[in-house]
Amino acid sequence: MAVPFTGRARRVVLGFKFHNRRAVAGHLAGLVRRRLEQVGVRPGIDVDVVTWAPTGDARRQERGFDQAELIARHLARQLGLPCRRLLIREEFSGPQSGRSRAERLQAPGFRARLDKPGRSVLLVDDVATTGATLGSASAALRSVGARDVLSVAVAGTPVRTRRRPTGHRRPLRQAA
């Protein structure tokens, strides 16, 4: 993940996805590229091709574009790598937004095709919540011969820690 899905980053990503602000796709790809550089990923050595976790057909039709595809295409250009559609969503499972964590873990299934087995694939998504979509897409790519799959997302939801409600106090133990 390039950035946490909070604050300004959250507003930018949501504007991109739901308010047709496509002009930010290159900037979002730049965030991912910088993160890849920070962790030492070398284009052409560590990854050969860029692809994306496709959104459902209904969402794509509704928006007029696939947000992960736009980011992946910009990122591929920035990295000097080819960008290919290697995944197809098997069935429409409905939008992920608004679902509970348990529902999100029921990731959509993907079919994959790989033009050259043995390739290392950079798999792109816009937001990673549970990682289930990227995990499912990655497994599909490995099943058709991808040597390695590096999964990245522009933003990821922060891990939440459970807190006690305000005013709740743990009872004191009394000495016996």
Domain regions of the chain by residue span: 3-92+106-156
Distance CA 7, CA 14 (A): 11
- Reply yes or no on whether the pLDDT at 161 is more than 60: no
Alpha carbon of 123 to those of 92, 104, 128, 141: distances in Å?
A: 20, 19, 12, 9
Residue-wise pLDDT for 109-154, tens only, equals 899 999 888 999 999 999 999 899 999 999 999 999 999 999 999 9
In the CATH hierarchy, which fold is given to the domain comprising 3-92+106-156? Rossmann fold (3.40.50)
**Rounded alpha-carbon distances, angstroms, from residue 114 to 24, 80, 136, 144, 152:** 29, 19, 16, 6, 19
What does the pLDDT average to over 73-97? 85
Stretch 85-98: mean pLDDT: 73
Q: What is the pLDDT of residues 26-56, one digit of tens each?
A: 999 999 999 999 999 999 999 999 999 999 8
> Which among 121, 120, 66, 122 is positioned nearest to 89, based on CA atoms?
66
Secondary-structure breakdown of the chain: helix, strand, coil percentages, each rounded to the nearest 5: 35, 20, 45
CB within 8 Å of 61: residues ≥ 6 apart: none
pLDDT interval class at 92 (50, 70, 90): low
105 compared with 159, residue with greater pLDDT: 159
Gap between the Cα atoms of 152 and 96, Å rounded: 18
